[in-house]
Structure 1
């Protein structure tokens, strides 16, 4: 089973890229962030014509998340939850569903704007609420993947020097990432030896992608029950090389499907 996370930075703009990528990769589960469209504008017909089912939690202009499942291999996403329960929030940042026995949580984590700002304080409260909720989810679902744009580069090697001491790499954000890991989750990307300067996001400005000035902020954390089933985790840079791309590249996790407890 292949599970991917991809911040598409406007589903309307990036839909052709997404459909081509789905046809090429045949990824089983795709977690999308930053849809920037309301539910009524979600291109469900196009997604279903591509052979996928979808559940989504959209918002006009900002935010928005979705989980796509390949109908042939995964069927319908089940037991869908939208938003963090008991956390009052107008922003649409979370959707969760069960796919072939795996609890998939897709999140678009707050940016935070700047350390010490009101938006940063919201980010920290949101992260604390997410962590509390996931503790209960893990008690119910031993097989769990937390996929998304975390807006956190957890280690120095996940950011170019230009980003040191800035938003996304601050101590409080990294401590919050550590609190998620402490729930019993593992960073699937770091289960394998990876190339140096491996990033998933590059600014549109200053030829950042060409110069590989970026951040690794898109992650797939897996529960202990899934850790031994992870056979690969890679950043697929191909969509970032296209014309009018998202500033993020997909990150793809491969699980040994014949060992999943369905």
Structure 2
């Protein structure tokens, strides 16, 4: 009963975990559904009564954003509350500029402004990390990679640092990872060690590989950081600088294949 009486703006943020799922959040990318979204844009303009109508480029940009927000290939998002907000902000920008129609340029500007509560929280999270220099976005560094992660519904930076040292144990080296890793993340780090042995061509049994997930106070789960971990470690082993303006995500199999991961849209 409590969920049924909940405000739609709050209810739409429920992702499951024991709660009832009220409706699908995506639909197929078909001509019929495309026409429905075009009609939705026109309805939002009509309801607002002040913003100008969208030209073809503006409509195409909204459709492109609907595909991106779906997070699935060949689908449109059905979270129309957020999409309607984008339509209205884009229209407001066009109206403020005195434009006859809302174009793709207005929609692109709106995307930088019309952010969800979750995205605003993620932006604040990133700004706080910048204050403490937890990650850099310029220059080149050895053994340091900017990975990507998801906090709530928003993507954030996940700095990963690797250092290779002589093994402390006489038997063999170890892969030592820190940063509140959960079960799947720990297994992913172990899988990466197999890739090191295959592709570096070096005997790393006499070395300890230290991997640090920086600033992960919330913990790390999933295997999407595998490619970032592998890059950081190989960079440290081979003394190869990594471009800090590049962020990466992707799962890595024990054979070295890069596999798809979830959460790409917010990342």
TM range (shorter): under 0.3
Q: Which has the higher strand share?
A: 1
Q: Which has the higher helix share?
A: 2
TM-score of the two chains, using structure 1 as the length reference = 0.23
Larger Rg computed on CA atoms:
2
